[in-house]
Amino acid sequence: MKPLRVALLGCGVVGSQVIRLMHEQSADLAARVGAPLELAGVAVRRLSRKRDIEVDPALLTTDAESLVTRDDVDIVIEVIGGIEPARSLIVAALSRGKSVITANKALLAEDGGTLHEAARAGNGDLYFEASVAGAIPLLRPLRESLAGDRVRRVLGIVNGTTNYILDKMDSTGASFLDALEEAQTLGYAEADPTADVEGFDAAAKAAILAGLAFHSRVPAEQVHREGITDITATDVASAKAMGYVIKLLAICARSDDGRTFGVRVHPAMIPRTHPLAGVREAYNAVFVEAESAGQLMFYGKGAGGAPTASAVLGDLVAVGRNRLAGTRGPEESTYAHLTVHPMGDTVTRLHVALDVADKPGVLARVAELFAKHDVSIQTVRQEGQGDDAQLVIVTHRASDAALTATMDELRALDIVRSVAGLMRVEGDD
Ligand SMILES: NC(=O)c1ccc[n+]([C@@H]2O[C@H](COP(=O)([O-])OP(=O)(O)OC[C@H]3O[C@@H](n4cnc5c(N)ncnc54)[C@H](OP(=O)(O)O)[C@@H]3O)[C@@H](O)[C@H]2O)c1
């Protein structure tokens, strides 16, 4: 049987594991695909770099452009990362009728449309299971298994670095910076952790998930994004005292009338009884709620060389089978053309801790302000006395715009000395 020839772009954390698995499992992969898979070349930036695995020097090249356009290449795997040259290389490959597998969430979120259009024009496949939640099968269930259902909400922990940091803060009482330092020492966080701790990585994944869940294209800039750098040990401790844990969540949810949806990434308090609360260390987990299927949960390793390569190899088998059958996998589905509503229209709850003057009438004035914005209060309690007096309030569900307006006015009240804690509450509705 004529082999399917594979060009690999990148031989770093993920790429090196793709090579190892292609080699170690070559007989099984050939049997599953229906033809042997053969590496045609491996594009890297530095030929002389010492690598985790041995790569035949004859396969290595720094000329990725020539590699992806070679006539003897059928499938291109892109694990370089970043926007350029990854985008140009993928488009060049797709335009020549090759199929492409990518793990590049940043590129898919920023300009997925260009890639999908190139795949359609070239009549090839574009698969990207590894781009969200590493090893966890999540995109194929959304794209195929749930294609007959109506997804209401996707709620998940999709960034292992921030989950590791928040978990350490919760279990040891560490500060954000101490937990970050430990994550860096253990290799869970990059030297420059911005993409993770500021929520960019999770926002890119949220854009991809929302696009699949709601059959609409989601521009990355429409994802509301907040990171975890401002979370203090006190925030974590007070959440814990109330039976909550703080997680960085990616939330994609249809509006009640189903006409729009929201996509957001921000830290939130969730009850310790919620299944996502038990997601520890660098693990990922995603909850999907669909009208007929009900609640589904996907859990596992969201990153790492071998777990991510597992997802890439799954795509490789699927794409290989499609090529042999002369067919293509499912195209991008954007027929619904739903729009992303602004963050202000999102319905959520708020936990607020206010340092207040300890005198009669304070509670009434604060409550009055909530009522003015139509925000009802679920619980309120006073902690401490005198200079230490604090009002801890948890609201019922209200629009984020109403909650923000309430907070703006609260800050201006003479009886409110400062806002000591402010966090959205999710997962108990
Ligand atoms: N790491 C994970 O756990 C994980 C999980 C899910 C998704 N991903 C995604 O997978 C992709 C790769 O991640 P990674 O962690 O494997 O990255 P990495 O370790 O930094 O490896 C990147 C590879 O790309 C090569 N490269 C960079 N620029 C190039 C260029 N212009 N031309 C040719 N080769 C070039 C590098 O060459 P040199 O080796 O010569 O430097 C290196 O081999 C990213 O999109 C990432 O978001 C990663």
Reading the block at residue 335, the tokens are 């027929």
Which of 80, 83, 315 maximizes ligand 1 atoms within 8 Å of its Cβ, making it the mutation to test the pocket? 80
Reading the block at residue 398, the tokens are 């209200």
What residue type is assigned to position 125 of the chain? Answer: D
The answer on 58 and 128 residing in a single domain is: yes
The answer to whether the annotation marks 14 as part of a ligand binding site is: yes
Considering the domain boundaries, does residue 168 fall inside one? yes
CA of 169 to the centre of ligand 1 (A): 30
Phi, psi of 346 (to 5 degrees): -70, 140
Output the residue whose Cα is nearest ligand 1's atom 30. Answer: 45
Among 267, 301, 335, identify where a domain stops.
301
pLDDT over 90 at 388, yes or no:
no
The answer on 124 and 80 residing in a single domain is: yes
Considering the domain boundaries, does residue 337 fall inside one? no
pLDDT over 90 at 359, yes or no:
no
pLDDT band at residue 216 using 50, 70 and 90 as cut-offs: very high
pLDDT over 80 at 429, yes or no:
no
pLDDT at 90: 98
Which of 8, 14, 17 maximizes ligand 1 atoms within 8 Å of its Cβ, making it the mutation to test the pocket? 14
In this prediction, residues 255-262 reach a mean pLDDT of: 94
The edge-to-edge listing of strands for the beta sheet with 126-127 is 60-61, 37-43, 4-9, 75-78, 99-102, 126-127
pLDDT at 49: 93
Considering the domain boundaries, does residue 334 fall inside one? no
The answer to whether the annotation marks 105 as part of a ligand binding site is: yes
Residue 275 CA to its chain's centroid (Å)? 18
- Return d(Cα 107, Cα 110) in angstroms, integer: 5
330 touches 144 (CB < 8 A): yes
CATH number at residue 38: 3.40.50.720
131-170 pLDDT tens trace: 999 999 999 999 999 999 999 999 999 999 999 999 999 9
Domain count across the chain: 3
pLDDT over 90 at 248, yes or no:
yes
The 10 Å Cβ neighbour count of residue 117 is 14
Q: Which residue has the higher pLDDT, 385 or 124?
A: 124
Scan for tokens 């300890």, then name that residue.
358
The answer to whether the annotation marks 368 as part of a ligand binding site is: no
Burial class of residue 185 in the structure, from the number of CB atoms within 10 Å of its CB (0-12 exposed, 13-18 middle, 19+ buried): exposed
pLDDT band at residue 383 using 50, 70 and 90 as cut-offs: confident
The answer on 285 and 169 residing in a single domain is: yes
CA of 80 to the centre of ligand 1 (A): 4
Q: Which atom of ligand 1 is nearest to the CA of 104?
A: 45
CA of 100 to the centre of ligand 1 (A): 16
Q: Which atom of ligand 1 is nearest to the CA of 81?
A: 45
pLDDT at 386: 85
The answer on 165 and 118 residing in a single domain is: no
CATH number at residue 211: 3.30.360.10
- Return d(Cα 392, Cα 59) in angstroms, integer: 63
pLDDT band at residue 385 using 50, 70 and 90 as cut-offs: confident
The answer on 266 and 192 residing in a single domain is: yes
CA of 15 to the centre of ligand 1 (A): 7
The answer on 367 and 310 residing in a single domain is: no
CA of 300 to the centre of ligand 1 (A): 22
CATH number at residue 414: 3.30.70.260
Note if the pTM is more than 0.85.
yes
pLDDT over 80 at 239, yes or no:
yes
- Return d(Cα 256, Cα 64) in angstroms, integer: 47
The answer on 414 and 314 residing in a single domain is: no
Q: Which atom of ligand 1 is nearest to the CA of 85?
A: 31
- Return d(Cα 362, Cα 233) in angstroms, integer: 27
The answer to whether the annotation marks 88 as part of a ligand binding site is: no
Considering the domain boundaries, does residue 372 fall inside one? yes
Pairing label, strands 377-383, 390-395: antiparallel
The answer on 287 and 162 residing in a single domain is: yes
pLDDT at 16: 97
Considering the domain boundaries, does residue 143 fall inside one? no
Output the residue whose Cα is nearest ligand 1's atom 15. Answer: 13
Containing structural domain, residue 123: 4-134+305-325
pLDDT at 142: 97
- Catalytic, 205? Answer yes
The answer on 16 and 99 residing in a single domain is: yes
156 touches 276 (CB < 8 A): yes
Residues with CB under 6 A from ligand 1: 9-15, 43-46, 49, 64, 79-81, 85, 103-105, 130, 134, 303-304, 308
pLDDT at 358: 86
3-state secondary structure the chain: CCCEEEEEECCCHHHHHHHHHHHHCHHHHHHHHCCCEEEEEEECCCCCCCCCCCCCCCCEECCHHHHHHCCCCCEEEECCCCCCCHHHHHHHHHHCCCEEEECCHHHHHHHHHHHHHHHHHHCCCEECHHHCCCCCCCHHHHHHHCCCCCEEEEEEECCHHHHHHHHHHHHHCCCHHHHHHHHHHCCCCCCCCHHHHCCHHHHHHHHHHHHHHHCCCCCHHHCEECCCCCCCHHHHHHHHHCCEEEEEEEEEEECCCCCEEEEEEEEEEEECCCHHHHCCCCEEEEEEEECCCEEEEEEEECCCHHHHHHHHHHHHHHHHHHHHHCCCCCCCCCCCCCEECCHHHCEEEEEEEEEECCCCCHHHHHHHHHHHCCCCEEEEEEECCHHHCEEEEEECCEEHHHHHHHHHHHHHCCCEEEEEEEEEECCCC
- Return d(Cα 154, Cα 166) in angstroms, integer: 21
In this prediction, residues 52-77 reach a mean pLDDT of: 96
CA of 275 to the centre of ligand 1 (A): 32
- Return d(Cα 73, Cα 85) in angstroms, integer: 19
Calculate the average pLDDT of the chain: 96
Reading the block at residue 243, the tokens are 């039976």
- Return d(Cα 248, Cα 229) in angstroms, integer: 11
Considering the domain boundaries, does residue 234 fall inside one? yes
The answer on 396 and 266 residing in a single domain is: no
In this prediction, residues 42-71 reach a mean pLDDT of: 96
The answer on 126 and 224 residing in a single domain is: no
What percent of the chain clears pLDDT 90, i.e. is strictly above it? 95
The answer to whether the annotation marks 252 as part of a ligand binding site is: no
The answer to whether the annotation marks 15 as part of a ligand binding site is: yes
The answer on 315 and 292 residing in a single domain is: no
Q: Which of 205, 240, 301, 359 is catalytic?
A: 205
